[in-house]
Structure 1
Amino acid sequence: MLVIGLMSGTSYDGIDAAAAELRLAGDTLRLKPLGMVSEPYDPGLRDLLAGALPPAAVPLADVCRLDTRIGQAFAATAARADAELCGGAAELIASHGQTVYHWVDGDRVHGTLQLGQPAWIAEATGLPVVADFRPRDVAAGGQGAPLVSLVDLLWLRGRPGTPVALNIGGIANLTAPDGTAFDTGPGCALVDAAAREFSGGRLAYDADGALAARGRVHGPLLERLSADPYYARPAPKTTGKELFHPGYLRATAAQPMAGLSAEDTLATLTELTARTIADAVRSVVATEVIASGGGTRNPALMRALAAALPGVPVRVSDDLGLPSAAKEAYAFAVLGFLTLHGLAGTDPASTGARHPSILGSLTPGRDGLRLPARPEQTPVRLELE
């Protein structure tokens, strides 16, 4: 089956679409990557989205506009991916949508909201769409994240030692072989926020970690930020820009930041990300880190992470055949495939749910919805072709 996975992460800079050929062979799910296309959000949509994220108060009219416009943007990207990567032969779209709020109170997640109305995708492509993946796990008592953990478990099964899969987006998360999975804290969220703040909005992020590389880590600021209670909470746990947003920096670290240069601030925030990830990696006694996500393209961050994990190899998922930039989009293609076949897309050990769940909601395509027969065997491993 040809499946297109659509993903826009917590950095909310645009949409990735990855096409995969997926097939079941007994207890093995085989994935053949067919490529990725990316589309940035247009500036007006990105500004509207940025203005709607926590802690902003947002009129319902803006929520409706965002749900529609994000859905239309996802639809255009899906249609492009079908034409360019699948020759118009795609059979299913799996859309993560854009997370705008994750309702967390202490150790419990009460709800989650992803925008990007799937009807626009079905209308533009004529294909069935699986979307809204997270709420079912939340309804089952889970964190609703990290949902890629099941794909990581299938993919890393049988690899020697204790390998962990690490994704560094706006928020960083990891998955260990025993099913332990959680958000470690900010990936690039605070670094991006500081880059925008210091540049007056001219920079969306610290390109190639260039600013951080020219700065020095500021001890008092690092100590203040490292004391956030989130880091000491046990897994499973999840977070987002509801906590680690631009106002968080101003409120939490105003005094230690006073008078610091952009370079020193960014160096410190980059070190914060590296150290909190490293602490999480050590907590699961990992012997290897396989990283993916936009943060892997930041050399300053990757150097800091390697330095914080002496003796633990840190490599990118590309080395194992799965493009790091597209890994989450491929993961949602897998989750959509599982949903269509009536198979669970969660591991309760990863999200804290009471039981595994079949994820998402289905929007029929132009020709209606014909579900395949449920496989006799549930896949226990993922192999790349």
Structure 2
Amino acid sequence: MIIVSLQSGTSADGIDVAVVEATASGNPAAPDVALAPLLTRTVDWAPELQAQILAYADGAALDAGAHTALTTALGQGFAAAAAAAITECGAVPDLVVSHGQTVFHWVEEGRARGTLQLGEPAWIAEAAGCPVLSNLRAADIAAGGQGAPLMGLFDAAFFDPAARTATLNLGGIANLQILRGDGSALAFDTGPANVLLDAAVAEQTGGALGFDLDGKLAAAGTVHDGVLAALLEHPFLQRPAPKSTGRETFTLAGVLAAEETAGVRLDLPDRLATLTRYTAATVAAALRSHGPEVRTVVASGGGVRNPGLLRELSAALTPDGVSLRTSDELGLNPDFKESLLFAFLGFCSWHRIPVSLNRGTARIAGVLSPGPLGFTLPAPLNGIGSLTMIAPSTRRTQC
């Protein structure tokens, strides 16, 4: 089947679009699944729309009308991105999976209570001419789970469970998936990845810059140990896994409070150097506590494009005998691994395969919005046997 994957991360830097061909072979009841990316790209949000997204996610008040206008504009943006990709590929999609744009992830006393992703799916269904799977996290939350991170579903199916491997996704928030010998994964958020770095750059430059290109500003700075120690006292870091969080938990206000505790006000390079080490230190501490047997961490997400962050991570992991790799070494594009996750999740839900995020309570993820001609579900599957990737040179179809 042909699946279009759409998502915009917590940094709201654009719509990640992937057109993926999923093929099944072997046991008809629990087949081996292979994914072949036919097209991947990122479509930037218009600057004014990106500013609205980030303002809302950071606590700006919107009345019902403004909220409706925003989720409509986002749905139309996702719809346009999907339609353009479908036209370019000439592939007829069976399903669009839209994760949407997260603006809030509600956690109280360590338990997820709700989550909000914007982007009205009806616009996407109309433009793509096929059903849309959205609201992917809610069923797990209603069943008592965290609703995040979802990456463990993909990694548990893709990686060898005996390899003593963990995966790390460095988006706005960092999440870690510790792969277990029984084929499951302990997946949880560890704390900030890029969200504080990006916010610090945007604030200090008046929005002229949105991120620290190649980590150059951080490389010119010096880590302030006192501020780092204050940051490491954040209560989220003390909670046991599994746990989840969002950009509303890690804010510049918290960084300024840590600087006040340390009695300093850092310039931008020193602040970025300290925040970069903060991400590395929180990841290493989480792995040390929950996956001491792990010997390799495979990283993906936008953070792998920051060589300074990778250096800090490697330095933090090395004393524990852990090596750091990036997912492109395994044939998984770091920028679009989440897109493949959502395509895989769409395959599972389309075939009514329940998935479990940690608690052992499996649910079918997402809500289906019909396309103009409705939809007919295939016969349900009992599960999948394995998950593999088809390399670009061996794709049956390519845009």
C-alpha deviations, 1:294-351, integer Å up to 9, x for none?
000001000110111113221111111111100001100111111111111333x2xx
How far is the alpha carbon of 1:35 from its aligned partner? 2.8
1:61-140 equivalences in 2 (<5 Å): 61-84=65-88, 86-140=89-143
TM-score by length of 2: 0.91
How far did residue 255 of structure 1 move?
Answer: 4.6
Q: What is the DSSP-based 3-state SS (H/G/I as helix, E as strand, rest coil) of the residue aligned with 1:324?
A: coil
Query: What are the equivalent positions in structure 2 for 1:317-356 lying under 5 Å apart?
Result: 317-347=327-357, 349=358, 352=359, 355-356=361-362
Match of 1:44 among 27, 45, 48: 48
Question: Which residue in the other structure is 2:3 paired with?
Answer: 3
The answer on whether the counterparts of 2:107 and 2:114 sit within 8 Å (CA) in structure 1 is yes
Contact 2:259 2:265 in 1 (8 A): no
Q: What is residue 209 of structure 2 aligned with on the other side?
A: 203
| Equivalent position of 2:389 in the other structure | 384
Specify the code of the residue in structure 2 equivalent to 1:24: A
Whole-Å separation in 2 of the counterparts to 1:237 and 1:35: 33
1:148 Cα shift?
1.8
Separation in structure 1 between the aligned mates of residue 145 and residue 263 of structure 2, nearest angstrom: 36
Is this contact kept in 1: 2:151–2:187, CA < 8 A? no
Query: Given that residues 130 and 363 in structure 1 are in contact (C-alpha distance below 8 angstroms), is that contact kept between their aligned partners in structure 2?
Result: yes
Please tell me the root mean square deviation across aligned C-alpha atoms, in Å. 1.5
Corresponding residue for 1:149?
Answer: 152
**C-alpha distance in 1 between matches for 2:262 and 2:60:** 25
Q: Cα distance, 1:32 vs. partner? A: 1.5
Question: What is the CA–CA distance in structure 2 between the aligned matches of 1:19 and 1:341, rounded to whole Å?
Answer: 19
| Structure 1: stretches of 5+ with no match in the other structure | none
- Amino acid aligned to 1:100: V
1:249 aligns with 2:248: no
Indicate the residue corresponding to 2:188 in structure 1: 182
Q: Check if 1:218 corresponds to 2:220.
A: no
Partner of 2:14: 14
| Deviation of the 1:55 alpha carbon | 3.0
% identical aligned pairs: 45
Cα distance in 1 for residues equivalent to 2:139 and 2:355: 10
Structure 1's consecutive aligned runs of 4 or more residues displaced over 3 angstroms after TM superposition are: 251-259
What residue identity is the alignment partner of 1:321?
G
SS of the residue 1:307 aligns to: helix
What is the SS of the residue equivalent to 1:265?
helix
| Structure 2 counterpart of 1:304, one-letter code | E
Could you tell me how far apart the structure 2 residues matched to 1:122 and 1:235 are? 36
Residue number among 308, 314, 319 corresponding to 2:324 in the alignment: 314
> Aligned residues, how many?
378
Asked whether the 8 Å contact 1:163–1:290 carries over to 2, the reply is yes
2:14 and 2:203 mapped to 1: Cα distance? 20
SS at match of 1:36: strand
SS in 2 for 1:176: strand
Aligned counterpart, 1:294? 302
Amino acid at match of 2:107: V
The 2-side partners of 1:218 and 1:65 are apart by 43
Distance 2:117 2:263 in 1: 33
Aligned runs of 1:213-292 on 2, under 5 Å? 213-256=219-262, 258-283=264-289, 284-285=291-292, 286-292=294-300
Which amino acid letter does the alignment assign opposite residue 183 of structure 1? Answer: D
Q: 1:173 is aligned with what amino acid? A: N
Q: Which residue of 1 aligns with 2:395?
A: none
In the alignment, the residues of structure 1 paired with residue 304 and residue 159 of structure 2 have an alpha-carbon distance, to the nearest angstrom, of: 19
Provide Cα deviations, 1:151-181, integer angstroms capped at 9, x if missing partner.
Answer: 11001134x4311111000000011112211
The Cα of 1:183 is off from its aligned counterpart by: 0.1
TM-aligned CA deviation for residue 272 of structure 1: 0.2
SS in structure 1 of the partner of residue 15 of structure 2: strand
Q: Provide the C-alpha distance between the structure 1 equivalents of 2:385 and 2:217, rounded to a whole number of angstroms.
A: 43
Matched with 1:54 is: 58
